[in-house]
Structure 1
Amino acid sequence: MLALALTALTACGGAGGGEGASSGGPGEGGSSAESIKVGVVLPRSGREAKPGQYQLEGIQLAIDQINAAGGIDVGGKKLPVEMVFYDDESDQAKSASLVQRAMEQDKVVAVIGGYSTALGQAQSPMPDRYRVPWITPGAAASTIFNQGYEYTFGTLAPVNLLGYTTGEFLGWLVDQGKLEKGMTIALVVENTDHGVDYANGIKQWIQEHPGYFEIVVEDTFELGGTDFSGLLQKVKNANADIFLSDAHLEDYITMHRQYTQMGLRHKMISYGARGPEQAAREALGDAVDYIFAGIWWSKELPYPQVKKFVDDYKAKYGREPDSWYAATAYDAMRILAKAIDEADNLDPTAIRDALRQVELTDSLLPGQRLKFSENGQVELPFVIVQNKPGGEVDIVYPEDAATGEVVAPIPGS
C-alpha cells in the first residue's frame, strides 16, 4: 500500500519541494538531447537543511563551471548540464519518492543526493530499480554499500574508517606523550547505522591496540533529540577521561550546549564528523574550542585546486565553504561529468559503467585522487581538525597535512 501511495503521489506531482524538469530530451541515447539532465535530491528545509544547502551549492558551482567551459561533449555535440532539483524536506519517504520521480518521470541520466545516512538509505534502492546511477555526497554508512547495488556510488569514505581514524589519532597522542596510556572513554552515538559504524571503528582500533584505552560507558540516542541530560548524566557519573560522540549537526549543537550547562569537562572531546561548523560556533561561542573532528575534507588542505575551489565558492556565495559538505558534492558532480564524457552518450547504464572506471586526478579530497571502489564507495583518508580560540580551525592529523599543533589535553580539563 505504501508503494502504491508513493507512486500515486509522485505521478501527480504531490511530493512537493521540487522545481521540476524542463525540456531537454530523454535520459537515453543523446542524439536529440539539448541538455544533460541531472537530478539532485537534497534537503533545503527541515532538520538537515543547512548541510543540504551547502551540498546543493557545491553541485551548482560545479555545474556553472562545466557549462561556462562549454558543457560536456556527447557524441560530438557540446551539451550543457541541466539540474532537476527537488527539496526532500529532510523526510525519508519524500526523499525516496522524489528520486523515483527524477528517474522515472524526468528521465535524468543520474541523481546526486542523500545527505545523511537516513536519507541516503531511503534513496539507495531506487538506482538499481530504475537502472539510473546515483551518487551520494553525504551518506557513508556500510548498510548502503553492502547490498550489492550496481548503480550506487558515494564520495564519502566509510564511517567505520572515521571511527578507526579517531582511535588512531588518540593513540598517536598517547605515543606523543600528550595523553596518558590507559585513559577511559565515554562513547555515545546516534541510534543509526552511521552511529554503529562509528562505534565499531573506534572499538576495532582499541581491540587491536590493547592497553591504550578502555570504554567505560557506551550508549545511544535518537536523532533530533531535545533533551540529552539523562545520557550526559551517565557520562558524568562514569568519570571518563575522553568523551566521544557521533552526532549530526543539530544534535551536536543541542548536546554540547547541555554538556556545557552541566559542567562536564573531558581531556578530549569529539562529535565524530561534526565540530568546525560555523553554525555551532555561532550557537555555542567559545564552548566549541578544542573540540576535534574527523572530516572528509578541509579547506586547509594544501592543494592548489582546494584554494581555487575556496576562492570560487566565496566569489559565488559570499562566504567560504562550511566544513566538508560542499566539497564532496562538488567532486560528485565533477566525476559524474567526467563519466558522461567517457561514456560519450546519455544512456544511464553506459554512464554507470564509466563511473566504475573513471578517476578524478585533481580531486579536492585527501589524496587528490577520487575513484570508486568495487562496492561503489571511495576509500580515502580522513583528516582530523581541531577548533582553536578566535574561530580558528587547524588540521592536526596526519602530521604531513597539519596546519597547526594539536592542543591535548584540553586546557583546564
Structure 2
Amino acid sequence: MSRTIVRLAGALLGAAVAFSSLPAQAADIVLGASVQLTGPESNTGRYYKDAYQFTVDKINEAGGVKVGNEQRKLALKIYDNQSDVNLSVRQYTQLVSKDKVDLLLGPFASNFALADSAVSEKYRIPMIQGGGASDQIFSRKFKYIFGTLAPASNYFGSTVEMLTKLDPAPKSVALLYADDAFDVSVADGTRPLLQKAGLTIAIDERYTSNASDFNSLLSQIKSANVDVVLVAGHETEILNFVRQAKSLAVAPKLYSFTVGVPSEDFRKALGADADYAFGMSAWLPSAELKDRWFGDAAKFAEAYKAKYNYDPDYHAASGAADVEALAQAIENAGTVDPAKVRDAIAALSFDSLYGKIAFAENGQINLPQTVIQVQGDKLAAVYGAKGFMEKPKYPMPAWDKR
C-alpha cells in the first residue's frame, strides 16, 4: 500500500511539474460595461450588448489582440443597469474599483454617458462609448471619455439643409424635444440652423421624457398648419407620436425623428404607418466601408443579422467600432496601461466598419448624417454630403389619402 501511494504521489508530482512547465497563458483583457438590458431603454440597449459581444468574438477568432510580443484574448463583463442611471454609475464604480476591469465600454443614452463618464475620469480608465452624443458629455474637458456618435447639436444638420432644397419649399417648423441631455443638445443646435436657413420656428416645445400623450402638441401643430415637424426623443415616444398623429389626422408636409427610423423594430411596430417618416443615420451597411476584422460593413451587417435575427443600425455599428477602437489602441500602445491606452485612443486614425475613427480634441468624432426615409417596404438613403441620393417621398399625404 505504501509503495502504491508513493508511486501515485510521484506520478502526480510529475504531472504538476509537466503542467507548470507549459507556456503561461496571458490573461484576458477585460472590457467592462453597464448596459440597459431591461427597462424602458432595453430595446436599444441590447444593440450595444450584442455588438460588444459580436465584435469581441470576432477579434478573438482572429487570434485576439497583440500586446507587445503577446497575443491576448478579449473578455467582456457586462452589468444590466435596468435603465436606471444611478444604478449604472454604481456598476461602473464596481467595474473599476472591485472587478478591476482593464478598460471601459459605454452605456446607451446621453444622460447615462454623461453620468458614467465621471467614473472613468475619476479612476482614469478610458471609456469609449457609442451611445451618448450630447455636447455636454464632451464640453467638460475630460480626458478619458471618447465617443463615436456625431454631436447631438448637428443631428438635424443634413435634414435642415435638405429642407432648403425641397419643392414645394417648407416655411414653418415645429421643434419638439424631450428634457434629457441628448435631446436638449439637439434642440439647442437645431434652432440656429433653422434660423440660418430662413425657416420660421412656429412651435418650440420641450416635453417630459417618456411622455405618452402628445395630443396637446399635435393639436398645436394642426392649428398652426406647420409644414415640418422635427422631434428629438426616444423610440417609444416617437411611436406614440406617430400613432396619435394618425388618430388626430395630423399630417404635415414632412416629419423627421432623431431615433426610430433606422430601427427594424420601429418600422415593424408601425407597419404601413411608418411610411414617409424621415430620420438620420451616421452609418449605412456599405461594402465601401472596409474593415480589418469583418472585411466591410456589408459583411458585418449580414453576419450580425444571421446571429441575432435583426438588422443592425448605427447603434450596433458604433458599438462594434468602440470595441475595435479599444483593440487598435491597445495594439498601438503595446500595453493595457490605462494612461498609455488613453493616449493611443486620442491619436487613433483607422478605417472601421463604422467609418473613419479619429477623435477630435474633445474626444468625439463627427461623421456626417445621412437623411433616410421609410419608403414603403424599404429604407431609402435620401440626402447626404453630396446632395440628394434617392428621391424623397414629399410632401407627405393626409392619412386618409395613403
Q: TM-score, structure 1 length as denominator?
A: 0.86
CA shift in 2, pair 1:285/1:192, >3 Å = same
Q: Which amino acid aligns with 2:36?
A: P
1:137 corresponds in structure 2 to 130
**Inter-partner Cα distance in structure 2 for 1:107 and 1:101:** 8
The residue matched to 2:382 in structure 1 has which SS? strand
**1:372-413 Cα deviation digits (max 9, x unpaired):** 1100010211111100112x1011111658663211212348
Is the counterpart of residue 48 in structure 1 residue 67 in structure 2? no
CA shift in 2, pair 1:374/1:399, >3 Å = closer
Q: Which amino acid aligns with 1:273?
A: V
2:322 corresponds in structure 1 to 332
1:291 corresponds in structure 2 to 277
Contact 1:395-1:401 within 8 A present in 2 as well? no
Report the more deviating stretch, 86-95 or 252-261. 252-261
Pick one of 332, 335, 342 that aligns with 1:342: 332
- What does residue range 395-410 of structure 1 map to in structure 2 within 5 Å? 395-398=381-384, 400=386, 404-410=390-396
Q: Which amino acid aligns with 1:185?
A: V
Is the counterpart of residue 180 in structure 1 residue 169 in structure 2? yes
In the TM superposition, residue 338 of structure 1 has moved relative to its aligned partner by 0.1
1:356 corresponds in structure 2 to 346
**1:244-297 Cα deviation digits (max 9, x unpaired):** 111111111122111211110110011123323222222221111011112221
**1:137-176 Cα deviation digits (max 9, x unpaired):** 1101011100110100000010111122221121232xxx
The residue matched to 2:149 in structure 1 has which SS? coil
**Inter-partner Cα distance in structure 1 for 2:366 and 2:169:** 31
Structure 2: which 5+ residue stretches go unaligned?
A: 1-23, 291-295
Report the more deviating stretch, 352-361 or 223-232. 223-232
Q: Which amino acid aligns with 2:149?
A: L
Q: Which amino acid aligns with 1:364?
A: L
1:383 corresponds in structure 2 to 370
Q: Which amino acid aligns with 1:380?
A: L
Contact 1:301-1:401 within 8 A present in 2 as well? no
2:119 corresponds in structure 1 to 126
**Inter-partner Cα distance in structure 1 for 2:282 and 2:264:** 17
2:360 corresponds in structure 1 to 373
1:274 corresponds in structure 2 to 260
Contact 1:37-1:84 within 8 A present in 2 as well? yes
1:14 corresponds in structure 2 to none
Contact 2:249-2:398 within 8 A present in 1 as well? no
The residue matched to 1:264 in structure 2 has which SS? coil
- What does residue range 204-243 of structure 1 map to in structure 2 within 5 Å? 204-210=192-198, 213-243=199-229
Contact 1:142-1:159 within 8 A present in 2 as well? yes
RMSD value, Cα: 1.9
Structure 1: which 5+ residue stretches go unaligned?
A: 1-30
Contact 2:68-2:331 within 8 A present in 1 as well? no
Q: How many residues align?
A: 371
Pick one of 311, 329, 350 that aligns with 1:320: 311
The residue matched to 2:336 in structure 1 has which SS? coil
1:202 corresponds in structure 2 to 190
**Inter-partner Cα distance in structure 2 for 1:220 and 1:42:** 27
In the TM superposition, residue 179 of structure 1 has moved relative to its aligned partner by 2.7
Q: Which amino acid aligns with 2:328?
A: K
The residue matched to 1:50 in structure 2 has which SS? helix
CA shift in 2, pair 1:399/1:164, >3 Å = closer
CA shift in 2, pair 1:302/1:338, >3 Å = closer
Contact 2:175-2:187 within 8 A present in 1 as well? yes
Report the more deviating stretch, 160-169 or 59-68. 160-169
In the TM superposition, residue 318 of structure 1 has moved relative to its aligned partner by 3.0
**Inter-partner Cα distance in structure 1 for 2:75 and 2:385:** 41
Identical columns (%): 30
Contact 1:151-1:352 within 8 A present in 2 as well? yes
**Inter-partner Cα distance in structure 2 for 1:399 and 1:127:** 34
Contact 1:111-1:134 within 8 A present in 2 as well? yes
Contact 2:283-2:317 within 8 A present in 1 as well? yes
In the TM superposition, residue 65 of structure 1 has moved relative to its aligned partner by 0.9
Contact 1:131-1:348 within 8 A present in 2 as well? yes
Q: Which amino acid aligns with 2:54?
A: L
CA shift in 2, pair 1:273/1:281, >3 Å = closer
The residue matched to 2:86 in structure 1 has which SS? helix
Pick one of 213, 234, 246 that aligns with 1:260: 246
Which of 1 and 2 has greater Rg? 2
- What does residue range 91-170 of structure 1 map to in structure 2 within 5 Å? 91-170=84-163
In the TM superposition, residue 236 of structure 1 has moved relative to its aligned partner by 2.0
Contact 1:242-1:266 within 8 A present in 2 as well? yes
**Inter-partner Cα distance in structure 1 for 2:289 and 2:127:** 28
Moved over 4 A (4+): 399-403
Contact 1:117-1:141 within 8 A present in 2 as well? yes
In the TM superposition, residue 240 of structure 1 has moved relative to its aligned partner by 0.6
Is the counterpart of residue 244 in structure 1 residue 237 in structure 2? no
**Inter-partner Cα distance in structure 2 for 1:376 and 1:102:** 22
**Inter-partner Cα distance in structure 1 for 2:338 and 2:262:** 37
Q: Which amino acid aligns with 1:57?
A: D
2:77 corresponds in structure 1 to 84
Report the more deviating stretch, 237-246 or 199-208. 199-208
Q: Which amino acid aligns with 1:39?
A: G
Report the more deviating stretch, 120-129 or 230-239. 230-239
The residue matched to 2:204 in structure 1 has which SS? strand
